[in-house]
Amino acid sequence: MANQNKNAKILVVDDVPLNIRLLETNLKAEGYIVVSASNGLEALDKVDTDKPDLILLDIMMPIMDGNEVCRQIRKNNNTRWIPIVMVTAFESGPEKIVQSLDDGADDFIKKPFDRYELLARVRSLLRVKWLQDELIDINKRLEDELILAKDVQLALLPQKFPNIPDLDFSHRYIPSLIVGGDFFDIEEISPSTVTVFICDVMGHGPQAAMITGIVKALLAQLVHYYPNPDALLTHMNNRFHEIMSSSSLSIFITAFCMVINTQNGTAFYANAGHPPPFLVKTRSSSLEELTGEHGFALGMIPNASYYNNSLVIEDGDMMFMFTDGLLEIMNEKRVQFGAEEFQRAIKNNSNLSPQAFVEAMLSAADAFSGGLYTDDDVTLLAFRYNHTGAD
C-alpha cells in the first residue's frame, strides 16, 4: 500500500497560482503525481481525463465553486468514490463547510495549511481509497461469477419442453437476485407417461441456487427408477438428507411431483410441503386445489413418508403449479397477493392458453402490487391436457 501511495495521482484545484505551487511542492516531494486546475470547469475536465486518486479542492473559486464541483463528481458513477479534501480559508465560514459535507466532501484542510497535517490527511484518505478500490474489484468479480452462475442455473432448467402431443407447457422463472432457489423439470418417462416436478429451496441467492444443482442431479438419477411420486420423493428426501447431514447447513426444499398418463388422463401426485397446485376444469369452469395429503419438506427428517394422491384430468383441463414467491408479492400497504386475489386471477384467465395464462398471472400480481415484487423467487408452470386434439 505504501508503493500505491507513492504512485498516487492528486488533482489540485485552486484559482490562486501560489496556492497550487505550494501544494505541488509538498506533494511532489513525497513522490505523488500532481495535476492542477485553476477553476471548477477545468477541474471536471481533469477528473475525466487524468482520473485522479484524490482531489484537493478550493471552495471559493470563480466560474464554478468547489461545492458545485463536488456535487458533479458525486453524481457521476465513474468518479463518485474519489476522495475529496476541501482546502478552505477561515473566512469561508462554517455554513460553507457544512454545505461541502452535504455535497460529498470527505475532509477539510484550513488555509494556510500545515505541511504535516496535509500529508497525513492525504495518506489517510488514500488508504481508504485503495481499500475501497479493492472492495469494488471484489464486488465486480462476484458479480461476474454470479452472472456465470445464472447461466449455469438456467441451463439446469428445461431448455425446451418435451414433445408430448397431449400436453402444452409454459413457464416463467423470476429469481429475486441474479440466481435463485426455485427449480422445475419435466421428464418424459415413456411415450404416454410424463413426470412434472417443481420445488423451492429455502432461502434465495447463491446458496439456494447451488442446492438446485443437487436437486437436478438427484432427480435425474432417480426419476426413471421410481415411477410413483411418493417413492420418488421418499428417495430424494433420504439422499438429500444424507448429503446435507455432513454439513452444518440446515436447508430444506418444498417440492411437488406429478406423474401423468397422457393416454387416459389419470395422474398421481405427492407433495413435500409445497403450495398446492390448481387444476382448472374447463368443462365445469371450476377450480380445484390439489390439497391431498402432504409430507415433510425434503431434507427436514430422514425416512419421511409421502403419499400418492390420484385425480383424473379431462380434455382441455389446465394444471397450474407455482412457488410461494407468487403468493407473497405485496402491495404498498404490505398486504400479500394472497389466496383470494390469487384464485380470482386464475379464474379470470382460465380460458387462456398456458403461455398467455402465465403472463396474465404475472400481470395480475404486478397490478396488485403496483410493481413491488416479493423478496422471494417466483416460478410459474402451467400445462393444458389436449388429448382429443392430439388424436
Domains of the chain: 2-140 (3.40.50.2300), 157-390 (3.60.40.10)
Among 60-69, 187-196, 347-356, the least confident range? 60-69
Q: What is residue 195's predicted lDDT score, i.e. its pLDDT? A: 95
Q: What is residue 54's predicted lDDT score, i.e. its pLDDT? A: 93
Q: Does the pLDDT of residue 99 top 80, yes or no?
A: no
Query: Band of the pLDDT at 186, cuts 50, 70, 90?
Result: very high
Q: Does the pLDDT of residue 24 top 60, yes or no?
A: yes
Q: What angle do CA 187, 259, 199 make, to 5 degrees?
A: 70
Report the C-alpha gap between 159 and 63 in whole angstroms: 59
Q: What is residue 228's predicted lDDT score, i.e. its pLDDT? A: 94
More confident residue, 234 or 293: 234
Q: What is residue 87's predicted lDDT score, i.e. its pLDDT? A: 85
Q: What is the mean pLDDT of residues 228-242?
A: 94
Q: What is residue 374's predicted lDDT score, i.e. its pLDDT? A: 64
More confident residue, 285 or 373: 285
- 222 φ/ψ angles, rounded to the nearest 5 degrees: -105, -25
More confident residue, 239 or 335: 239
Query: Helices 206-222 and 115-156 sit at what angle, rounded to 10 degrees?
Result: 20
Q: Does the pLDDT of residue 389 top 60, yes or no?
A: no
More confident residue, 207 or 204: 207
Q: Which residue has the cell 495518506?
A: 123
According to DSSP, the β-strands at 266-272 and 309-312 are antiparallel
Question: 279: which 3 cell numbers?
Answer: 387444476
CB proximity list for 261: less than 8 A, separation 6 or greater: 192, 193, 267
CB proximity list for 86: less than 8 A, separation 6 or greater: 57, 58, 59, 66, 70, 97, 100, 105, 107, 108, 109
More confident residue, 22 or 374: 22
Question: 36: which 3 cell numbers?
Answer: 492542477
Listed ranges 177-186, 221-230, 247-256; the one with the highest mean pLDDT: 221-230
Chain-centre distance for alpha carbon 292 = 33
Q: What is the mean pLDDT of residues 30-52?
A: 92
| pTM of the predicted protein model | 0.68
Angstrom distances, CA of residue 332 to CA of 362, 368, 370, 374: 17, 9, 7, 11
Q: Does the pLDDT of residue 330 top 50, yes or no?
A: yes
- 58 φ/ψ angles, rounded to the nearest 5 degrees: -70, 145
Query: Band of the pLDDT at 152, cuts 50, 70, 90?
Result: low
For residue 377, the one-letter residue type is D
Q: What is residue 390's predicted lDDT score, i.e. its pLDDT? A: 46
Question: 347: which 3 cell numbers?
Answer: 379464474
| Residues 111/114/116/117 CA torsion (nearest 10 deg) | -40
Question: 63: which 3 cell numbers?
Answer: 466560474
Residue 201 and residue 251 in contact, taking contact as beta carbons nearer than 8 Å = yes
Q: What is residue 340's predicted lDDT score, i.e. its pLDDT? A: 84
Q: Does the pLDDT of residue 92 top 70, yes or no?
A: no
Q: Does the pLDDT of residue 9 top 90, yes or no?
A: yes
Q: What is residue 3's predicted lDDT score, i.e. its pLDDT? A: 52
Q: Does the pLDDT of residue 28 top 70, yes or no?
A: yes
Q: Which residue has the cell 411420486?
A: 229
- 349 φ/ψ angles, rounded to the nearest 5 degrees: -120, 15
Q: What is residue 327's predicted lDDT score, i.e. its pLDDT? A: 83
Q: What is residue 91's predicted lDDT score, i.e. its pLDDT? A: 56
Is there a cis peptide before residue 112, judged by omega within 30 degrees of 0?
yes
Closest CA to 255 of 303, 210, 306, 204: 306
Query: Band of the pLDDT at 391, cuts 50, 70, 90?
Result: very low
Q: What is the mean pLDDT of residues 141-149?
A: 69
CB proximity list for 62: less than 8 A, separation 6 or greater: 15, 39
Helices in 157-280 by DSSP H: which ranges?
A: 206-222, 229-245
Question: 143: which 3 cell numbers?
Answer: 458479480
